[in-house]
Amino acid sequence: MKEIFDNYQFGKFNIKSCIIRSGLWESENGPQKSLSPKIFERYESLAKNNVGLIISELISLYTHDRFSDYSYYINSPYFIKEFKSLTEMVHEYEVPIFAQLGFINCNVNGKQMMEVNDLTIEDIRKIQADYVMGAKKIAFSGFDGIQLNFGNNYFPSRVMDPFENQREDEYGGNTYNRVRMNIEIIKLIKKITGLHIHCRVNLYKDFDDSLEICRILAENSADSLQITKFLSPQYFRKSLSNENMLVDFADKVAEEVSIPVVLGGGFSNMDSINKLINSTNVNFISMQRPFVRNPGFLSKWKENGYGESECKTCNNCYWKKESKCLIK
């Protein structure tokens, strides 16, 4: 019988629980856009309270594609210095930390709001080069891994989407071609850094094609996957059929690939998590909003042997794009 607070192997990392903290949006910035003491406090609270792995708040690949007033962006002149201090602090608690990197709107090579089918090969190379530069900074900053946001409505997820990608060149058509841009990104990052590559991937409308996308990523150097959907999985968990669909998909992916598979979204109590890890092939659960409500709740769960998140799932922190709870 598996338990939430067993030791788990996640790639090369031995982690102290199966719970992965996913980052949301940032809500605090200090003077000159530096990381504020409150951010350090939040990460310290996460690290010392039995989380298995921390994934940062969203870091934008492009400065103009920031998601909130406070979002980090990879080209900040303070990035390496600031995040090096943060990762060193988290490592004192022997917890690995990954950086979440993504972009939504595609504005490269002087062009605005490009669609998947409009990208030239030069545009694809530009995006790939930007990921490589971003990954280098992330590695220099002491992160253990990178979460490549190939899911939800991030642009790279739209490149893999069979309904959106109608290209007729080597970056469109069959499943492998649609994943090609992203696996080239993974391989380039692997060549120049030792980062663990964690990919966020959608269950699209076509179950089998989505499964094939996961297989291709796993066979082409991805080190772990997080299963999600176009919209936040929290919406889908409100409907039983959609909830089961996402669980079934993650279960099938975990059966087919030999890398860790994380299921994200909507879990709020120990019982449901213990049930999931013991009745499916999925070993890892990602949680976001419960940590926004209380970054240290896992220690309470561990101590009591049971627990329910204090988050009311109102989703205000998501809509306001803040990583702080807005409910008193």
Residue 327 is a binding residue for ligand SF4 (CB under 6 A): yes
Which 3 state secondary structure label does DSSP give 148? Answer: strand
Q: Which is nearer to ligand SF4, 183 or 325 (CB)?
A: 325
If the CB atoms of residues 277 and 317 are measured against ligand SF4, the closer one turns out to be 317
* Residue 235 C-beta: closest distance to ligand SF4, Å: 12
* Rounded Cα–Cα distance for residues 139 and 35 (Å): 18
Candidate ranges 79-87, 109-117, 208-216, 306-314; the one touching ligand SF4 (CB under 6 A): 306-314
Residues 6+ apart with CB under 8 A from 51: 16, 17, 19, 20, 21, 95, 291, 298
Whether the Cβ atoms of residue 277 and residue 254 lie closer than 8 Å to each other: no
How far apart are the C-alpha atoms of 77 and 215, rounded to whole Å?
37
Residues 6+ apart with CB under 8 A from 90: 43, 44, 46, 47, 54, 97
Min dist. Cβ of residue 93 to ligand SF4 (A): 23
Out of 162, 242, 315, 321, name the contact with ligand SF4 by CB under 6 A: 315
Asked if residue 238 binds ligand SF4 (CB under 6 A), the reply is no
Burial class (CB in 10 A: 0-12, 13-18, 19+), 279: exposed
Shortest reach from residue 21's CB to ligand SF4, in Å: 13
Q: Is 289 an interacting residue with respect to ligand SF4 (CB under 6 A)? A: yes
CA distance 132 to 140: 12
Residue 326 as a binder of ligand SF4 (CB under 6 A): the answer is: yes
Binding status of residue 231 toward ligand SF4 by CB under 6 A: no
The distance of closest approach from Cβ of residue 249 to ligand SF4 in the complex, given in angstroms and rounded to an integer, is 24
Q: Is 311 in the site for ligand SF4 (CB under 6 A)?
A: yes
91 in Cβ contact with 54 (< 8 Å): no
Q: What tokens appear for 185 in the block?
A: 């990104």
- E strand or H helix at 39: helix 37-47
Nearest to ligand SF4 of 167, 293 (CB atom): 293
Instruction: Identify which of residues 147 and 232 has a Cβ nearer to ligand SF4 in the complex.
Output: 232
Is 269 one of the binding residues for ligand SF4 (CB under 6 A)?
Answer: no
SS3 call for 145: strand
Least distance (Å) between residue 298 CB and ligand SF4: 15
Note whether 45 binds ligand SF4 by CB under 6 A. Answer: no
The residues that touch ligand SF4, with contacts defined as CB under 6 A, are: 289, 292-293, 311-317, 325-327
